[in-house]
Amino acid sequence: MRFILCILCLSASVVFAESKIYTLTLASSWGEQIPILGSAPYKVAKLAEEMSQGRLIIKVDLPQKHKAPLGIMDMVKEGLYDIGYTTPVYYKGKDYKLVFFMTVPFGMTTTEQYAWYYYGGGKTLSEKVYAPHGLISYPGGSVGISMGGWFKKEIVSLEDLKGLKIRISGQGGDVMARLGVNALSTSPGELYMAMETGLLDAVEWISPAFDMAMGFHKVAPYYYTGWSKPSGEGQYLVNQKKFHTLPQDLKRILESAIKITARELLDESNDANAKTWAKMQHEYPHIKINHFPKEVMNALKKAAHEVEEEQANKDALYKEILESQRSYIAKIRPWSMMGEVDYLSEIAK
Amino acid sequence: MRFILCILCLSASVVFAESKIYTLTLASSWGEQIPILGSAPYKVAKLAEEMSQGRLIIKVDLPQKHKAPLGIMDMVKEGLYDIGYTTPVYYKGKDYKLVFFMTVPFGMTTTEQYAWYYYGGGKTLSEKVYAPHGLISYPGGSVGISMGGWFKKEIVSLEDLKGLKIRISGQGGDVMARLGVNALSTSPGELYMAMETGLLDAVEWISPAFDMAMGFHKVAPYYYTGWSKPSGEGQYLVNQKKFHTLPQDLKRILESAIKITARELLDESNDANAKTWAKMQHEYPHIKINHFPKEVMNALKKAAHEVEEEQANKDALYKEILESQRSYIAKIRPWSMMGEVDYLSEIAK
């Protein structure tokens, strides 16, 4: 047993800080080559370490190490990792409700989704979904709205979609499938090759900054506008048992490091998209920006509604979240339109 | 001199945390009666205390105590308070450059402004502006876009603005003044009475949730859409000398508590605006939502440009920030329009 000299104890204003070092492991879905997402978990780790004076250490493993970019949720659930950095839609096969915490087709934008999550009941619903898995989920940062994807051929009618092999993640894939599309969930590292060799006819990935880094513009000239992922929210999953081994201050520090990194990820994405979009227009004039035809958009909306109704009939909690999001959109959308959309449209006139 | 038993020193993984208690004082521009803004600094204080295990204490004083809601900047500069919660535009009389860190007429929306601030050079420019004042400034949270204000009479032409007594803060006031308006900066607590007694003909305040709480709809039926404050950013000012007396971990904790509170303030504002907007449409159908006529909007744009050019000729750093924001808008606006604005407009069709 050792004694130390407590030089600070001479003053009355002294607290005895817990000083054990806690080390947590984190598995990420995205490697260093993926812009912005690749570096995000390192930012969480750095900030947590700084705020805790080195008492909270997070060790990050990338897919090349853990080999399971689409299996993060299970690894954290089983305690193989303490934290996962991933996105809820990768696990819709296990629990379809998870899609609500990323984004749904024709759903909320990032600002709307955050208002719903923090002030409209979303957080409580998230806890209802994740607690039975032994997990705590935090919004992990949005890349903003996603584009509708890169297509090798122009889509003029519904007929053109039939039989197309498209990589499209999340609920968008199930919606597209109803229109006769062969919706695939090819893993990120294989996408470019699949497009080049014809295994894929189209790919929905994210938005300009992320898409151009993947090189899709070299193999597919038609770039469609967004409908499937109005907000691309990631998530940090934390093993609940492990979380509760942390002292109170480190719990708050971990949450805060996640929250700040998540918010600044949207800024970084918007900045990168702005730059890439400007560059695209300039350097790649062959890229054709298209809206899907009205006929296709209507069919997508109808199919999205059908997918939702089907799930709602199977799962009461899914239904509760669906209704929460739908009624929230009904309330917040008129303000989105009256506020920023009106401003940006009016001053552009 | 005392000794304490270090029961944790038995393990190798031990750090000796600094354990002195630091107490900082904070003066806020807004009292408890102002929705959202009134409670924000208490949230910063609570989070900082939790993350620091009670080593960082922030004591909040409201205007009823310090009596200087529009004098926060000077009080923090002089060291009367360590932190101020306020908004840069209140101090444009001292330094016109400050307006850029809240918002400028026809400028960036909140998402655009954050991308500029964190990834487009804004933070560095902010430091250039505030360091000579001995201050560190942090974005304090945006209430989102502001409406154009409540008018007792409809504005049909430029002529209708001449001689009107309008409370309008920030650069918007200087712009309006060029159109013959008598632009006043009545303090928040006196606004309703001034409208009721005819000291004011119109008032630009914030947005539905904040405006309805002030009761303006009872005395002025015309509610104009926004142009003057596309993002209503607050700020936390910290006395630089005081900040540097904090140990490294508490510096990060203070910054983090501010950042999180600032971000969630936008969510809370959006949620409150969505609810209030819905309620307005329902319960107060007499409120008339108007755009200013094209003639007025064009005159406002021209006047805003003139105000900016005039300031740019007087102050090189103002000019540098103006050019930074203008070129950033040129880059990010096309992506704003192609992303969320296009999505929200298309699915509304």
pLDDT tens track for A164-198: 999 998 899 999 999 999 999 888 889 999 999 99
Q: Does any domain span residue A308?
A: no
Which H/E stretch holds residue B83? strand B83-86
pLDDT exceeds 60 at position A2: no
CA distance A164 to B245: 63
Q: Does any domain span residue B116?
A: yes
φ, ψ for residue A92, nearest 5 deg: -65, -25
- Please state, rounded to an integer, the average pLDDT across all residues of chain A: 93
CA distance A71 to A28: 10
When CB atoms are compared, the residue of A227, A253, A263 closest to B51 is A253
pLDDT exceeds 90 at position B187: no
Mutate which: A53, A228, A280, vs B, most B CBs within 10 A = A53
Q: What is the mean predicted confidence (pLDDT) over B215-223?
A: 96
When CB atoms are compared, the residue of B13, B291, B332 closest to A270 is B332
Q: What confidence score (pLDDT) does residue B186 get?
A: 86
Strand order from edge to edge, sheet including A149-151: A182-184, A165-167, A202-203, A149-151, A222-224, A288-290
Q: What is the mean predicted confidence (pLDDT) over A25-42?
A: 95
When CB atoms are compared, the residue of B15, B267, B268 closest to A21 is B15
End-to-end CA distance of chain A: 76
- Which residues, including other chains, have CB under 8 Å from residue A124's CB and lie 6 or more apart? none
In percent, how much of chain A has pLDDT > 70? Answer: 95
- Show residues of chain A in contact with B3, CB under 8 Å: 3-6
Q: Does any domain span residue A74?
A: yes
Q: What is the mean predicted confidence (pLDDT) over A199-204?
A: 97
pLDDT exceeds 90 at position B142: yes
CA–CA min distance B1, chain A (Å): 7
pLDDT in tens, B310-328: 999 999 999 999 999 999 9
Q: What confidence score (pLDDT) does residue B17 get?
A: 55
Cβ distance B3 to A1 less than 8 Å, yes or no, reads no
The reply to whether B204 sits in an annotated binding site is yes
When CB atoms are compared, the residue of A11, A230, A256 closest to B51 is A256
Q: What is the mean predicted confidence (pLDDT) over A208-221?
A: 95
Q: What is the CATH number of the domain that holds B68?
A: 3.40.190.170
CA–CA min distance B68, chain A (Å): 31
pLDDT in tens, B275-308: 999 999 889 999 999 999 999 999 999 999 999 9
Mutate which: A109, A248, A270, A294, vs B, most B CBs within 10 A = A270
Q: Is the dihedral of CA B41, A261, A113, A315 positive or negative?
A: negative
Asked whether B220 and B122 are in contact (CB, 8 A), the reply is no
Q: Does any domain span residue A210?
A: no
Cβ distance B277 to A345 less than 8 Å, yes or no, reads no
Identify the DSSP state of A162: T
Q: How confident is the model at residue B188 (pLDDT cuts 50, 70, 90)?
A: confident
Q: What is the mean predicted confidence (pLDDT) over A61-82?
A: 96
Q: What confidence score (pLDDT) does residue B145 get?
A: 97
Q: What is the mean predicted confidence (pLDDT) over A123-141?
A: 98
Q: What confidence score (pLDDT) does residue A189 get?
A: 82
Least confident of A9-13, A124-128, B13-17, B19-23: A9-13
pLDDT exceeds 70 at position B13: no
CA distance B236 to B266: 15
The residue among A171, A165, A177, A275 whose CA lies nearest residue A232 is: A171
Domain containing B266 equals 23-144+231-272
- Kindly provide the ipTM of the predicted complex, given to two decimals: 0.93
The reply to whether A346 sits in an annotated binding site is no
CA distance A324 to B193: 40
> CB atoms < 10 A from the CB of B197, how many?
9
Cβ distance A14 to B21 less than 8 Å, yes or no, reads yes
pLDDT in tens, A288-311: 999 999 999 999 999 999 999 999
CA distance B77 to B152: 39
pLDDT exceeds 90 at position B114: yes
Collapsed DSSP state (helix, strand, coil) of residue A161? helix
Q: What is the mean predicted confidence (pLDDT) over B222-227?
A: 97
Q: Does any domain span residue A282?
A: no
Q: Does any domain span residue B96?
A: yes
Q: What confidence score (pLDDT) does residue A17 get?
A: 55
- The CA distances from residue B296 to B160, B165, B172, in Å, are 10, 17, 13
CA–CA min distance A198, chain B (Å): 28
Q: Does any domain span residue A124?
A: yes
Collapsed DSSP state (helix, strand, coil) of residue A22? strand
pLDDT in tens, B228-267: 999 999 999 999 999 999 999 999 999 999 999 999 999 9
Q: What confidence score (pLDDT) does residue B257 get?
A: 98
CA distance B336 to A107: 18
Q: What is the mean predicted confidence (pLDDT) over A211-225?
A: 96
End-to-end CA distance of chain B: 76
Q: How confident is the model at residue B16 (pLDDT cuts 50, 70, 90)?
A: low
* DSSP E strands, chain A: 3-5, 22-28, 56-61, 83-86, 135-142, 149-151, 165-167, 182-184, 202-203, 222-224, 233-239, 288-290
Cβ distance B331 to A278 less than 8 Å, yes or no, reads yes
Q: What is the mean predicted confidence (pLDDT) over A122-149?
A: 97
| CB contact burial B230-263 (16+ within 10 A = b; e otherwise) | bbbbbbbbbbeebbeebbebbbbbbbbbbbbbbb
Cβ distance B331 to A275 less than 8 Å, yes or no, reads yes
φ, ψ for residue A66, nearest 5 deg: -90, -15
Mutate which: B1, B145, B270, vs A, most A CBs within 10 A = B270
- Show residues of chain A in contact with B288, CB under 8 Å: none
Q: What is the mean predicted confidence (pLDDT) over A322-332?
A: 97
pLDDT in tens, B198-213: 999 999 999 999 999 9
Please tell me the total count of domains within chain B: 1
Q: Does any domain span residue B167?
A: no
